Amino acid sequence: MSEAQVTIEQVSIGDTLPELEIPLTRTLIVAGALATRDYEDVHHDPAQAERRGTPDTYMSINNTNGLVGRYVTDWAGPAARMVRLSTRLGVPNFPGDTMRLTGEVVGVEQDTVRVAVRGMNSKGAHAISEVTVRLPRGTEQ
């Protein structure tokens, strides 16, 4: 993603964000759970995850939200401020897969932009999210 700053004047409904592929490693899944203090065993213990009915450990919603937020703010630039994030989870993110994030601007109001984000993996939709970010005006940079 770019480090360039997007301003509110540059954004229109229907604009798309560049796709971002995130390899889903066991390290990413475990580190994300630990970083967000989600100690649920299914996020770090493969044997326990299997005992609880899944084929492997899987990504926590906090980890997913962090990646979705990063995706949008990396696109928007360093002066962007995330003010809202809402996610509905679908299929799990398991190690060895790839999550592909795509986004589309679905709203522009005053100094905020709403971006619809989809996180897809080989099994289908992992995350359906909406992120609202506050953007500067061109004169505020």
Summarize pLDDT for 42-70 with one digit per residue, the tens. Answer: 899 999 999 999 999 999 999 999 999 99
pLDDT of the residue at 39: 87
Arithmetic mean of pLDDT over the chain? 95
pLDDT at 71: 98
A 10 A CB-CB count for 98 gives: 12
Residues of the chain with pLDDT under 50: none
Q: What are the angstrom distances between the C-alpha of 8 and each of 17, 56, 137?
A: 15, 42, 6
Taking the CA atoms of residue 36, residue 62, residue 57 and residue 53 in that order, the dihedral angle to the nearest 10 degrees is 120
Which pLDDT does position 70 carry in this prediction?
A: 97
- Give residue 139's pLDDT: 76
